[in-house]
Amino acid sequence: MSKTIHCHSLLVAFLGLVMTGCSSRLARIDSLPSPTAEDRAVAFLQREVPAWSQDNGCYSCHNNGDAARALYAASRRGYRFSKGVLADTTKWVSHPERWEDNKGDPGFSDQRLATVQFAASLAAAVESGAVRNPATLNAAAIKVARAQAPDGSWPVDVANPVGSPATYGTALATYMAWDVLSRASSPEVRAATQRAGNKLRSIKPDSIPNAAVLLLFLRSERGSAANIRTALDFLRRAQTRDGGWGPYADSPPEAFDTALALLAIAGFPDETAVPAMVRRGREFLAGTQSPDGSWPATTRPADERSYAQQISTTGWATLALLETR
């Protein structure tokens, strides 16, 4: 018996060393012999996410929202990096009562959008284990619910029907808000959750972001097969020869719209066309990634320069690659 226990202890110790070695290897992504597109993206975001608060003394929807969500997702999938990478973001999103006190330029801030994005980042932190107090998410959900419009939506960037990586648009903002509310246990948010669900069910799959949002919602609530099929067929027909998607069925492909489409169809792997769609979408993202691991900013209109949009575009693309790897 003692020999068996000794052998078992040696095996556990050996596996511990192996896992430690894997974690250390993942921490040095740049040194991997054949890094994947998501490896390079995570390495880029490791540098950029903490830099914003350190350099600007405030917290942003792009670095501490979308990009941080991608790093929390990476940590759930086995990536390891130093605690300092997400420490500031985790501390910031863990205090929803302080979100209005951000020191950024109020002329460039949309408090409703910031509330939704920081709450989504907090939800990702909770899911990854970085935040362990469920009361924090409940407090954030109440704050999100109070920002809801009477029609059940979170109107953001209303002049832009297809949204953008950093500003979301109403459809995506409403889905992200609903996702936060649906994770909370507070009875104070139930009515808001129902109103948001009703609003999301009414979305027409007439653009790639709308079709993606509809699919993400229907997957979560196990919606009707007919509505799922309609949205999937729309995305199947809209995929370009390059493998990506643009904001509309006849638009040139963009990284953000491709990421949204991939995140949406990833929930339906048993559908006949989906595996090939995912493979081609991943190839498009890998082929358009910049050498530093980022993606060019998806902007509306296209081909403009924006650091915020670049970071959010990279966050969304990284999330899509991690979800479909």
The two structure tokens encoding residue 302: 């296209």
Residue 234, in any domain of the structure:
yes
Q: In terms of Cα–Cα distance, which of 69, 65, 37 is closest to 255? A: 37
Residue 267, in any domain of the structure:
yes
Residue 222's pLDDT is what? 79
> pLDDT per position in the chain (325 positions), as tens?
333 333 333 333 333 333 333 333 344 565 667 899 999 999 999 999 999 999 999 999 999 999 999 999 999 999 999 989 999 999 999 999 999 987 654 444 689 999 999 999 999 999 999 999 989 999 999 999 999 999 999 999 999 999 999 999 999 999 999 999 999 988 989 999 999 999 999 999 999 999 999 999 999 887 789 999 999 999 999 999 999 999 999 999 999 999 999 999 999 999 999 999 999 999 999 999 999 999 999 999 999 999 999 999 999 999 999 999 9
Residue 223's pLDDT is what? 76
On whether the CB atoms of residues 296 and 287 are closer than 8 A, the answer is no
Distance between CA 74 and CA 95 in Å, rounded? 23
Residue 184's pLDDT is what? 93
Cis amide leading into 165 (omega within 30): no
Residue 114, in any domain of the structure:
yes
Residue 181, in any domain of the structure:
yes
Residue 169, in any domain of the structure:
yes
The two structure tokens encoding residue 208: 């790639």
- As to burial, measured by CB atoms within 10 angstroms (0-12 exposed, 13-18 middle, 19+ buried), residue 211 is buried
Work out the angle between the directed axes of helices 111-128 and 170-183 (0-180°, nearest 10). Answer: 40
Q: In terms of Cα–Cα distance, which of 191, 205, 198 is closest to 174? A: 198
Residue 31's pLDDT is what? 60
Residue 259, in any domain of the structure:
yes
Distance between CA 69 and CA 116 in Å, rounded? 13
Residue 116, in any domain of the structure:
yes
Distance between CA 67 and CA 173 in Å, rounded? 16
On whether the CB atoms of residues 149 and 192 are closer than 8 A, the answer is no
Cβ within 8 Å of residue 248, ≥6 positions away: 162, 207, 208, 238
Residue 273, in any domain of the structure:
yes
Work out the angle between the directed axes of helices 208-221 and 225-238 (0-180°, nearest 10). Answer: 150
Full residue range of the structural domain in which residue 238 is found? 31-324
Work out the angle between the directed axes of helices 190-201 and 170-183 (0-180°, nearest 10). Answer: 140
- Into how many domains does the chain fold? 1
Q: In terms of Cα–Cα distance, which of 212, 200, 129, 197 is closest to 165? A: 212
Q: CATH number, domain at 273?
A: 1.50.10.20
Torsion of CA 311, 316, 319, 320, to 10 degrees: -140
Residue 204's pLDDT is what? 96
